[in-house]
Amino acid sequence: MAMTAASRASEDAGQTDSERSPFARLTELLAPYKPGKPLIALSLGEPQHPVPGFVGDVLARHIAEFGRYPIARGIEPFRTTAAAWLSTRFRLPRPVDPDSEILVLNGSREGLFFAALTAARSVGNRKGRPAILMPNPFYPAYGAGARAAGCEQIFLPTTRQNGFLPDLDALDEATLARTVAFYIASPANPQGAVATPDYFARLKRLADRFGFMIFSDECYSEIYTREAPSSALECAGPDFSKVVAFQSLSKRSNLPGMRVGFAAGDRNFLGLFHELRNVAAPQVPVPLQHVAIAAYGDEAHVEENRRLYRMKFDSADQILGSRYGYRRPDGGFCVWLDVSAHGGDEAATVKLYRDAGVRVVPGSYLARRQVDGFNPGAGYIRLALVADSATTAEALHRLVDVLD
Ligand SMILES: Cc1ncc(COP(=O)(O)O)c(C=O)c1O
């Protein structure tokens, strides 16, 4: 279990730029240029498939409940529905208890952020400076949470060589002994890698042995074109201890603006998390929880969603072939292309915008530079296939024309 200092990122390397929003940096990068063709934005991972048809009716029926302050843990019917959905969707060791093992979230982002604060306070004494581990590239809320919690951020490179998931065998015991929490995203953003049950089981053994929390970001779990991804909860044992999964309706139900998700798992952790949330976290308006109940009760719109993404990945398979190291991801809706032979990620991003009118994100903006100077996102660009099929195909054709 040896990990050299150079093989992982330090919070000190490249801190200033990489802590900023990737999208603010992208806007600055492209500011001097004009799109060469009508703009197609594949930069933001904001779903653009239709909002489910039932949303308006449910909202209208519950409109008066905007007149109440929502309770922090979520209304009982929401928690019951979320627990039932988890049991139907995943092979859980036992059903999740809606009273003690589910908390509603205002989207998964705030939950992922606030969880770090609770972990830093609740996980027992660490041997050395408390640390929070996360993949690199990573969703920025993990890093922001770790910083706010006063923990060292340790970035675990996710590369083609390790299947785009943190290499658990590369973690040294001294690091694990001071680990407070480990963020894992499956399906991963940006590469779409999916953790197997065996991977989750190995991670859980480490969490049990070293006493840290696993925060499993599963907000893309319903977006896949072949096999349904597993949850870390499946391998969490009969009491789900040390594991909290984060779910969201943003990607599953095309409701990113509604801001509803939930956390499920370790009841001891969730009890403390609730105490913090009760005084500090954003509540979820009750009418929106009713919409969420309807959304978790309906799989037809989710299947339709997957069909639309599948069509787009079918055309990506055809148009991109094996160019730029492309392979269809196991989950999520992003494409992660190696453009290191095409001038690198920033140059390719500028070229695509200027010559093709296609806006993508440089991979280095989504990752942190390591102490040895290596940024695991450098050389890659991320495309979010969120537009309609025809627009997506047009963007991919333009991309190949310009880069080839
Ligand atoms: C990996 C990952 N986690 C979490 C989120 C947060 O999503 P939300 O707060 O809408 O649930 C996103 C959003 O893009 C994401 O890509």
Q: Phi and psi of 172, rounded to 5°?
A: -90, 160
Cα–ligand 1 centroid distance for 355 (angstroms): 30
Q: Which of 43, 142, 251, 262 is the pocket-test mutation for ligand 1 (most atoms within 8 Å of CB)?
A: 251
Report the run of H or E that residue 6 belongs to, with start and end.
none
Q: What sign does the CA torsion over 50, 231, 19, 113 have?
A: positive
Give residue 7's identity as a one-letter amino acid code: S
How far is the CA of 79 from the CAs of 163, 216, 278, in angstroms?
35, 19, 16
Cα–ligand 1 centroid distance for 401 (angstroms): 32
> 3-class SS at 254?
coil
Cα–ligand 1 centroid distance for 128 (angstroms): 31
Question: What confidence tens digit (pLDDT) does each residue in 28-37 have?
Answer: 999 999 999 9
Cα–ligand 1 centroid distance for 1 (angstroms): 31
Ligand 1 binding site (Cβ under 6 Å of any ligand atom): 45, 107-109, 139, 185, 189, 217, 219, 248, 250, 256, 261
Cα–ligand 1 centroid distance for 174 (angstroms): 31
Predicted TM-score (pTM) of the model is: 0.95
Sequence length of the chain is 404
pLDDT in 10s for each residue of the chain, 404 residues: 344 333 444 444 444 566 788 999 999 999 999 999 999 999 999 999 999 999 999 999 999 999 999 999 999 999 999 999 999 999 999 999 999 999 999 999 999 999 999 999 988 788 889 999 999 999 999 999 999 999 999 999 999 999 999 999 999 999 999 999 999 999 999 999 999 999 999 999 999 999 999 999 999 999 998 999 999 999 999 999 999 999 999 999 999 999 999 999 999 999 999 999 999 999 999 999 999 999 999 999 999 999 999 999 999 999 999 999 999 999 999 999 999 999 999 999 999 999 999 999 999 999 999 878 899 999 999 999 999 999 999 999 999 999 98
Give residue 283's identity as a one-letter amino acid code: Q
Report how far residue 312's alpha carbon sits from residue 334's, in angstroms, rounded to the nearest whole number.
11
Other C-beta atoms lying within 10 Å of the C-beta of residue 105: 25
With a CB cutoff of 8 Å and minimum separation 6, the contacts of 275 are none
The correct CATH number of 55-297 out of 3.40.640.10, 3.40.30.10, 3.20.20.70, 3.40.50.410 is 3.40.640.10
Question: What confidence tens digit (pLDDT) does each residue in 121-167 have?
Answer: 988 788 889 999 999 999 999 999 999 999 999 999 999 999 999 99
> 3-class SS at 349?
helix
Kindly write down the DSSP assignment for every residue of 195-206, as one continuous string.
--HHHHHHHHHH
Kindly write down the DSSP assignment for every residue of 264-290, as one continuous string.
EE-HHHHHHHHHHHHHHSPP--HHHHH
* Domain ranges, ordered by start, for the chain: 9-50+301-403, 55-297
Q: Phi and psi of 317, rounded to 5°?
A: -55, -45
Instruction: Give the position, in ligand 1's atom list, of the atom nearest the Cα of 256.
Output: 10
Instruction: Give the position, in ligand 1's atom list, of the atom nearest the Cα of 250.
Output: 10
Sheet containing strand 361-362, edge to edge, reads: 334-338, 380-384, 361-362
Cα–ligand 1 centroid distance for 107 (angstroms): 8
Report how far residue 76's alpha carbon sits from residue 73's, in angstroms, rounded to the nearest whole number.
9
Which residue's CA lies nearest to atom 16 of ligand 1? Answer: 189
Query: Are domains 9-50+301-403 and 55-297 of this chain identical in fold?
Result: no
DSSP state for residue 50 in the 8-state scheme: P
Cα–ligand 1 centroid distance for 357 (angstroms): 26
> 3-class SS at 179?
strand
Angle between helices 140-148 and 108-122 (to 10 degrees): 30
pLDDT for the residue numbered 372: 81
Q: Which of 103, 189, 221 is the pocket-test mutation for ligand 1 (most atoms within 8 Å of CB)?
A: 189
Cα–ligand 1 centroid distance for 4 (angstroms): 31
Which long-range contacts (C-beta less than 8 Å, at least 24 apart) are formed by 338-341?
338/160, 338/379, 338/380, 339/379, 339/380, 339/381, 339/403, 340/378, 340/379, 340/380
Instruction: Give the position, in ligand 1's atom list, of the atom nearest the Cα of 139.
Output: 1
Instruction: Give the position, in ligand 1's atom list, of the atom nearest the Cα of 45.
Output: 14
Q: Phi and psi of 51, rounded to 5°?
A: -65, 135
Report how far residue 143's alpha carbon sits from residue 146's, in angstroms, rounded to the nearest whole number.
5
Q: Which of 248, 249, 336 is the pocket-test mutation for ligand 1 (most atoms within 8 Å of CB)?
A: 248
Which residue's CA lies nearest to atom 5 of ligand 1? Answer: 109
Other C-beta atoms lying within 10 Å of the C-beta of residue 76: 11
The correct CATH number of 9-50+301-403 out of 2.130.10.10, 3.90.1150.10, 3.30.70.100, 2.40.50.140 is 3.90.1150.10
With a CB cutoff of 8 Å and minimum separation 6, the contacts of 393 are 312, 315, 319
Cα–ligand 1 centroid distance for 108 (angstroms): 6
Cα–ligand 1 centroid distance for 219 (angstroms): 6
Q: Which of 46, 139, 215, 386 is the pocket-test mutation for ligand 1 (most atoms within 8 Å of CB)?
A: 139
DSSP state for residue 245 in the 8-state scheme: E
Residue whose token pair is 């499946």:
234
pLDDT for the residue numbered 16: 54
